[in-house]
């Protein structure tokens, strides 16, 4: 049977990245052909080590992992140990990987694989967009070679989580994000508008812990750190947003957005308080609106709110009533 999608996953492997990878790896119809890492939740080298750990936990040590950008185009690098733990995986001390990252840099891997597989690869980017922007510089024809790009990032109608205006992945490298969103490839942007409404809870964590496989035990354990951050700083209870796993599910067609207009998206790259903000005209959500010239970004504004059930089903390997949820 043909794969639902053939993916290169570009990530800064922290807690939600790990959950997204496990979600995808538990689906035999999804082909992850490579993972590339970038600074963000943690430094790019630790992200690669974390990725290899997760791949080995899932029995997929065959998937190549390439290290990418260690800082933004302007030379900055901000990490989030207060969210993801000092090791990026909730201080869970997952065993060191036996495999090593490839020597090929991430952007070069992306450009090469796209040339070798024109029209096949789907890029799923759940960290800062520096690797994708660098790949565009290496091969300006990349948008013609890539099937689709799905990005977890941005905030359109929702406040930011890095600044009042900006979401963390975009804020970490606004210049790179602006280039990626302006490129001519088809893009699905999954911003905080959608991800903050999809919450994984203690009930889901309890189910994962009780199921008792190495994968579900690990997933339950890393949620302790994540829940602690969200309880103290965001929701006031022990639950967390499903940022990267939701983007993964949308990328492979498991979640069908309830509201997702196709619009033009820009990124504020100035030095003021709006730096890193994603700017989009979504007034058309309320009525018929003239199509925007050159619009090619599908912005997911609303989903059904029950994705965490599907996530727990997938990790517990229990069949859901439907592979797709509205």
Active-site residue set = 243
C-alpha distance from residue 111 to each of 89, 134, 160, 174, 196 (Å)? 29, 9, 31, 21, 32
Per DSSP bridges, beta strands 262-263 and 121-125 are: unpaired
The SS3 call for residue 194 is helix
Residue 12 backbone dihedrals phi, psi, to 5 degrees: -120, 70
Report the 10 Å Cβ neighbour count for 112. Answer: 15
Query: Are 51 and 25 in contact, with CB atoms under 8 Å apart?
Result: no
Burial (CB < 10 A; 0-12, 13-18, 19+), residue 325, is: middle
Among candidate residues 6, 2, 59, the one with its CA nearest the CA of residue 31: 6
């Amino acid at each position: 049977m043909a794969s639902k999608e053939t993916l290169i996953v570009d990530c800064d492997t922290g807690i939600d990245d790990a959950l997204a990878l496990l979600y995808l790896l538990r689906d035999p119809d999804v082909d992850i052909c490579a993972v590339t890492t970038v600074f963000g939740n943690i430094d790019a080298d630790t992200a690669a080590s974390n990725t290899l750990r997760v791949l080995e936990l899932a029995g997929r040590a065959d998937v190549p992992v390439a290290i990418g950008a260690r800082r933004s185009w302007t030379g900055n690098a901000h990490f989030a140990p207060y969210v993801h733990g000092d090791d990026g995986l909730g201080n869970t001390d997952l065993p060191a990987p036996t495999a090593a990252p490839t020597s090929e840099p991430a952007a070069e891997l992306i450009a090469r694989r796209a040339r070798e597989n024109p029209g096949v690869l789907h890029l799923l980017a759940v960290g800062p967009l520096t690797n994708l922007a660098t790949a565009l510089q290496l091969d300006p024809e990349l948008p013609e070679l890539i099937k689709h790009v799905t990005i977890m990032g941005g905030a359109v109608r929702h406040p930011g989580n890095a600044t009042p205006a900006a979401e963390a992945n975009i804020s970490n490298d606004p210049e790179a994000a602006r280039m990626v969103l302006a490129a001519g490839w088809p893009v699905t942007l999954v911003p905080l508008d959608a991800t903050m409404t999809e919450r994984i809870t203690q009930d889901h964590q309890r189910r994962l812990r009780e199921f008792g496989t190495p994968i579900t035990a690990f997933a339950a354990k890393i949620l302790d750190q994540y829940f602690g951050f969200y309880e103290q700083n965001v929701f006031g209870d022990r639950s967390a947003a499903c940022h990267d796993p939701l983007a993964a599910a949308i990328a492979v067609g498991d979640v069908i957005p309830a509201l997702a207009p196709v619009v033009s998206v820009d990124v504020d790259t100035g030095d003021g308080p709006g730096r890193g903000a994603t700017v989009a005209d979504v007034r058309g959500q309320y009525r018929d609106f003239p199509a925007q010239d050159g619009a090619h970004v599908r912005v997911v504004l609303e989903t059904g709110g029950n994705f965490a059930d599907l996530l727990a089903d997938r990790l517990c390997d229990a069949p859901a009533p439907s592979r797709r949820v509205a």
